[in-house]
A and B are shown apart, each in its own frame.
Chain A
Amino acid sequence: MRFSSRVRAWGLFIFLCAAASCFPPAAGAQAGGGAPDFIKILKQADALVTFDDSDFSALYTFVQETPGQGQSSKQAMVFRRDKNNTYLIVIVKPDEDKGKGYLKSGNNLWFYDPVSRRFTFTSAKDRFQNMNARNSDFTRSNLAGDYRVVASVRQKLGRFDCWVLDLEARTEDVGFPKMKIWVSDDGLVRKTEDYSFSGQHLRTTAFPVYQQVGSRYVPETVVILDELRGTTINGTFVKERTTYTIARPSLQRLPDATFTKAWLENLSE
């Protein structure tokens, strides 16, 4: 009798230990115990991919895959000056789009068409070159300022141990009012899911590999899946996908003239 109650107690203990190891910690709890400071996590995620103390430039290569219609690709040079909330993007390939550009200065974003030689206002929330990337994807990250964390959970994403954070926008200025982000323990965002105000899943973005540039990180490849656009092939819904790779990242200081309309105009001449 005594023996059996001891066995039962040990059995219960072993069962509880097994259960604890099988299930991830409850939402808001840190792996080592206690809830981490999620704002700090977001700030760190922002800081690692934001270039406040230098300029940034790189060559972006976009590949757009539209199921049933094949692939198309574009190349663009991206120049960022995050401390001024400014960027300039100029398309370099293909030839028919060469010279088209975007200039963001503060909250204003202009699109330049070298054929008509005119600048037109566009929105940061619009799609970039009719792909699944948005114009806002090239600006500085401000997750900590734009969103608050409403839920969190630990999850393994591939080989990364991540915090999965459910975010809700603090204001309606942002494109996606709701997001779910996977932040790995090294502080980098590995995956995001963007949702509409009503909770409709709009797109999924993956950042599988980062490259270190100075003390900052730049994704090597970004994969964006459009959750609403695609084609049903053989009974399976295949989503539209944009993949872009970032090459030749540089933190070299850029001339001030780079972030001007005149520079964009001169490029196409």
Chain B
Amino acid sequence: MRTTVQMAFRNFTRNSRRFLLLGLAVCAGFFFVCTIQSLVAGLSYQVNVRGARYYGGHVIISIGKEPRDIATMAAADRFILEAISRSGVSPAAFSHRTHLGSSGVVFFNGESLSMRRVIGLDWASEARMIERLQFIAGNPGDMSDQRGVLISEVTARRLGARVGDQITLQVNRDAGAINTVPLWVKAIFREASIFGFYTLYMDRGVLDKALGFDSGYSASIGIYLDDYRAAERVAAQIGHALNGKFTADPVIGFMAQIRTLLKALSIVSYGILALLSVVIAVGIFNLYRVIIYERTREIGTMRAIGIQRPQVRNLILCEAVFLALCGIAAGLLLSFVGLTAVARIPLAGAAGLDIFLDRGHLSWVMNPDIICADALLITLVTLAGALSPARAAQNIEPVAALRAE
């Protein structure tokens, strides 16, 4: 076998021009697949990062909004944390949050602005996640002050507020009574998507008190994961452990339309992969038939000097593997260069794209497992394309081959 591989490698390197066209086909196929999948993964990553920051984790366990006494809340909290532990999940971080929908209004210097979401969080446990926002003024570290608030650039501009200003948040308590709470702007972040425009981050205890909830209340417990792609599986595991008492949802579940869009993009990318696989397989099949025809005498000579039929087949297939590996490597390199170039194109403000952008640019993620799977698939497709010509080659009779022109 080793001899076959060595011979195949020598053939492949010495007759590289012969394989150039085939290599380009494999390279182009892998480039397209890799680029599209990396971009889709990048979009998915961005949405998940934003969603996790907005909803408080990659998996969200909703506790509910009905007023609860401290003992019941503590029991629910304990039950959920035990369920997470039982499910065997090891979260990167936890969040306890209270949030307010569109009924929050902020006032500053006579201006008012309705907030899309007012988020009450525990800074100590979520600082690492929230500090990944792009801050343009102030120091998010100052959020350790309970009366601190983080507002978006859009909110700051509309209110005319700056870091250090005191704004007033108006909320409706559970039964509807109006309450207000003074907050000090500690930092201003830039987030152009729907996840940031009118979002406000503040201390959970202060928000709970303003809303009339007991101290320690949280509307949801969130789990941050190291790999966001595991969210659906982890949610199912935890949901099972929660035994129907509470629900656990992957954060993407809160964004049905985006989830559909990402699924559609993913399906399209796999469709392209399938199409390219067929094109590569057919192309390699045809080109290999020509190559085998051109190498009839060479194969006849090999057979004449004692190389067995399976060895001839394996030789051709090994050459195909080298071809595939070289094409994949070139495609990967090209994809890397292409993605890096695409990520430099400024797209800030592009309608509908904000949610997928990282600081105004497309981002991409090359997931090693997906890349390896793609590479394996392309290699198998190349082998499949070369298999029939390789079988034809092994059946060449030495005498007939040597007699051929």
Contacts and interface: CB of A to CB of B under 8 A. Distances in A.
Partners in one complex: yes
Interface stretch (A52-60, A82-90, A169-177, A246-254): A169-177
**Number of chain B interface residues as a range:** 10 to 19
A176 B172 CA distance: 10
Contacts of A196: 170, 178-180
Contact of B110 (A123, A175, A200, A232): A232
Interface stretch (A5-13, A182-190, A223-231, A260-268): A223-231
Contacts of B175: 171-173
Given A172-B212, A196-B170, A200-B168, A230 B178 contact: no
Interface in A125-150: 125
A196 B169 CA distance: 11
A202 B180 contact: yes
A172 B180 CA distance: 14
Nearest to A125: B176
A197 B173 CA distance: 9
A125 B176 CA distance: 7
Interface of B, helix, strand, loop or mixed by DSSP: strand
B16 interface: no
Interface string B337-362: 00000000000000000000000000
B11 interface: no
A67 B180 CA distance: 23
Given A228-B107, A228-B168, A176 B178 contact: yes
A197 B177 contact: yes
B174 interface: yes
A172 B174 contact: yes
A237 interface: yes
Nearest to A176: B178
Contacts of B179: 177, 196-198
A169 to B, nearest CB: 6
Nearest to A237: B110
A239 B110 CA distance: 7
Given A229-B110, A229-B112, A231-B110, A175 B178 contact: yes
Interface in B161-190: 168, 170, 172-181
B109 interface: yes
Interface of A: 67, 123, 125, 169, 171-177, 196-198, 200, 202, 228-232, 237, 239-240
11 contacts: A125-B176, A125-B178, A172-B177, A172-B212, A173-B176, A177-B173, A196-B179, A196-B180, A202-B180, A232-B110, A239-B110
Given A197-B178, A198-B181, 5 more contacts: A175-B176, A177-B179, A197-B173, A228-B112, A229-B110
